[in-house]
Amino acid sequence: MDTAADIERHIEAKQADYEATAAKLADVTARLIDATDGQRAKLLQERMMIVADRDALADELRELKRRYALAAIAPYEQAEADAAAFVTVCAERVAIWKAVSEGETDFLALAVVTSIDGSPCGACRQVMAEFALDMLVIIADLQQVHRIATVAELLPGAFTPDDLRNASS
Ligand SMILES: [Zn+2]
């Protein structure tokens, strides 16, 4: 498996390709505006191919970022999972509390990597919901990703801090 640093280099290279393709698209679009009827069909054809390239690059970037999140968190998750087995608090909650204790409360994604494709328990889903309903939860084993879902999908109708605020106002 590639390390997070390897994947980060792939992302940077792919991002540069993406930006170059986006620039080409802007250029061909600008040329379309001034094109004669004769030129237009060829430019539209060219534009379609650039759009297809750009969309393919966007898909590859998304996949790389997903792999990056997984690679970045995996070693940490593994260590926490080992520790959590003794204290009966799950690794997910340990990871969130650790991040919060270091001032991070804006969560984009959390990877749950276990040897048995384990899914977060109810208590963990509740803690996740209190911080970020739209955070992505990546559920994976050591070989592959099994599911990617938002916290809102994992815990429909969650009780959140908003409920408390609404109740007291
Ligand atoms: Zn749990």
Residue 92 annotated in active site: yes
Class of the 89-169 domain?
alpha beta
Angle 154-71-14 from CA coordinates, rounded to 5°: 105
Residues 113, 73 contacting (CB under 8 angstroms): yes
Categorize the per-residue pLDDT at 78 as very low, low, confident or very high, splitting at 50, 70 and 90: low
Domain borders along the chain are 1-72, 89-169
Ligand 1 center to residue 25 CA distance, Å? 46
Please tell me the predicted confidence (pLDDT) of residue 1. Answer: 59
Residues with CB under 5 A from ligand 1 (ion): 90, 121, 124
Q: Which of 92, 102, 104, 153 is catalytic?
A: 92
Look up residue 101 and give its two tokens: 């204790």
> What pLDDT digit, counting tens, does each position of 9-62 carry?
999 999 999 999 999 999 999 999 889 988 999 999 999 999 999 999 999 988
Rounded CA-CA distance 93/33 in Å is: 54
